[in-house]
Amino acid sequence: RKEVEQDPGPFNVPEGATVAFNCTYSNSASQSFFWYRQDCRKEPKLLMSVYSSGNEDGRFTAQLNRASQYISLLIRDSKLSDSATYLCVVSGGGADGLTFGKGTHLIIQP
Amino acid sequence: GAGVSQSPSNKVTEKGKDVELRCDPISGHTALYWYRQSLGQGLEFLIYFQGNSAPDKSGLPSDRFSAERTGGSVSTLTIQRTQQEDSAVYLCASSLGPATNEKLFFGSGTQLSVL
């Protein structure tokens, strides 16, 4: 069974700090990678795709390490509104194509 | 509305009853997914519809679960003879094409509680 593993946290981080967390995946044939964000009692929403060369969107940077089979998410200058659960999503096998991690819970403290 | 719509938002039922959950995907989206999320857990894949292809039912946990998608649009997830372990949030998502390439848009879910 394909696995996507994440540290569930919670990560308690002061506002303005930089925080990073990783996600490991077991299927070396995986091709597409994403980070989704899920607020408490809300549906997941796409935060960003993860490209082989790494990509940045404002305060968020995502990177892929194929050799070690992990992806990472870095959040700079964290805001209170960044508090959420961050879901790692990997594709590359199976008809559904996507495997969701259980998420990393991030709490930004004032 | 422009998003994925699910109904009802909350459903409380008694053990042994049947329930139907509805999903209206975004117009034009060919792919439709059902997921289940228990409290504090990740998303569990249930079933996937892509266009007119046969659905991938590999995630359905038992034969009490079934789903259909009529006219390539609205989907209904049916759970027969509900059990307490079926209590969860049932999330529907759609995308323009296969979600490996396209962004998934989720509905706000149906919170199912089986007493």
CA distance A2 to chain B (A): 12
Q: What percent of chain B has pLDDT over 90?
A: 72
Evaluate whether B37 touches B106 at the Cβ level (below 8 Å).
no
In this prediction, residues B100-110 reach a mean pLDDT of 88
For B47-79, the pLDDT digits (tens) are 999 888 889 898 999 999 999 998 879 999 999
- C-alpha of B90 from chain center: 6
pLDDT of A96 reads: 58
Task: Examine the pLDDT at A1 and tell me if it is beyond 60.
Answer: no
* Residue-averaged pLDDT of chain B: 92
- Confidence band for A93, pLDDT divided at 50, 70 and 90: low
In this prediction, residues A64-88 reach a mean pLDDT of 96
For A7-29, the pLDDT digits (tens) are 999 999 999 999 999 999 998 88
For A25-64, the pLDDT digits (tens) are 998 888 889 999 999 989 999 999 998 888 999 999 999 9
For B35-48, the pLDDT digits (tens) are 999 987 888 999 99
The reply to whether residue B56 touches residue A95, judged by beta carbons under 8 angstroms, is yes
The reply to whether B100 touches chain A by the CB within 8 Å rule is: yes
**C-alpha to C-alpha distances, A30 to A24, B72, B101, nearest whole angstrom:** 11, 28, 12
The reply to whether residue A98 touches residue B99, judged by beta carbons under 8 angstroms, is yes
Nearest CB among B41, B45, B101 relative to A96 is that of B45
- C-alpha of A103 from chain center: 8
Task: Examine the pLDDT at A2 and tell me if it is beyond 70.
Answer: no
A contacts of B109 (beta carbons < 8 Å): 43
DSSP secondary structure string, A22-91? EEEES-TT---EEEEEE-TTS--EEEEEE-TT-EEETTEEEEEETTTTEEEEEE-S--GGG-EEEEEEEE
In this prediction, residues B24-35 reach a mean pLDDT of 93
A contacts of B48 (beta carbons < 8 Å): 95-97
pLDDT of B42 reads: 83
